[in-house]
Amino acid sequence: MLHRREAEPAQPRPARQGPPFWLAVPALAFFGLFALLPLGGVAVLSFMEWDGLGTPRWAGAEIWLDTLADPATRAALWRTVVFVVVSFLFQAPVALLLGVFTAGRQRYRAAFAVLYFLPLLFSSAAIGIVFRSLLDPNFGLSRAFSPGTLSTNWLGDPDLALYAVIFVVGWAFVPFHALLYQAGVRQIPASLYEAATLDGAGRWQQFRYVTLPQLRYTIVTSSTLMLVGSLTYFDLVFVLTGGGPGDATRILPLDMYLTGFRSYQMGPASVIAVLLVAIGLALSLFLSRVSGSGRMQSQQAGAA
């Protein structure tokens, strides 16, 4: 006699992981209203001729072609590339070393951290005014110390001005990235260093084989903020040099402002703005893809 097989009970669906989508709706609405909508307006304006007062006139892709072919825009783009690369090469190692140093529990390191993190409390305009006075060859540091290297007109020499601005930007923003590294180092389990010490590892070996691998995702985050953030520096450069001497420090963010609000060419200025957004997004996505930050997992698993 054939027995009918009893129907197997339906398997319950796995519980959905993470918070519900509706919790993100207010943030998405805020982002769309104050970020995506203005960005769309700028994208449309990049195809128009407008002086900021009259009626915008549709010009099509001609503005894009003229702006991208403009030697001044190309020169500003090249200066921006130099600015981003040199700024990163200067800020990244200094911030990493300072963050690792200030992560120690000694009192003198804590005092040093408090003093060095003070630039985070100052506005970019205040920092620019102070350094413009300090680097002035007539009444700056050259008057306080013996003449020599300090008497160089750092902000007035076309060959040195961009690198002087990069130094000031580094002084202002290295503490922020050092704070990220300090927090990352303090999250590393002490057992890893104890095991490395038992294996005979010195300070350099511990830094290379324990600290750096554990700071991988912190390095990715800091590098992304550092590189993409270098595309947005305007206020500090504007206060320090205004783009001068000549056009020696006229990077793309400043070029966008001067084109739009000094030359009253809102179309080309919008082209530069869209170009900056595109470069920033491409750079961020490239770093995320190369570093594998989209597959981040805890590096402390099994460390207890």
CATH of the domain at 120: 1.10.3720.10
Mean pLDDT of 128-148: 79
For residue 2, tell me if it sits in a domain. Answer: no
- Categorize the per-residue pLDDT at 126 as very low, low, confident or very high, splitting at 50, 70 and 90: very high
Note the pTM of the prediction, 2 decimals: 0.85
For residue 6, tell me if it sits in a domain. Answer: no
Residues 6+ apart with CB under 8 A from 10: none
For residue 253, tell me if it sits in a domain. Answer: yes
Inform me whether the pLDDT recorded for 83 exceeds 80.
yes
- Categorize the per-residue pLDDT at 103 as very low, low, confident or very high, splitting at 50, 70 and 90: confident
Mean pLDDT of 266-287: 92
For residue 215, tell me if it sits in a domain. Answer: yes
Could you tell me which of 149, 154, 115 has the C-alpha nearest to residue 134? Answer: 154
| Low-confidence winner among 149-153, 159-163, 227-231, 280-284 (lowest mean pLDDT) | 149-153
Mean pLDDT of 207-227: 92
For residue 44, tell me if it sits in a domain. Answer: no
How high is the pLDDT of residue 87? 95
Could you tell me which of 278, 231, 277 has the C-alpha nearest to residue 254? Answer: 231
Print the domain residue range for 104. Answer: 58-291
Inform me whether the pLDDT recorded for 286 exceeds 70.
yes
User: Count of domains in the chain?
Assistant: 1
- Categorize the per-residue pLDDT at 18 as very low, low, confident or very high, splitting at 50, 70 and 90: low
Contacts 24+ apart (CB under 8 A), 16-22: none
For residue 8, tell me if it sits in a domain. Answer: no
pLDDT tens column, 195-209: 998 888 888 999 999
For residue 249, tell me if it sits in a domain. Answer: yes
For residue 53, tell me if it sits in a domain. Answer: no
Inform me whether the pLDDT recorded for 139 exceeds 90.
no
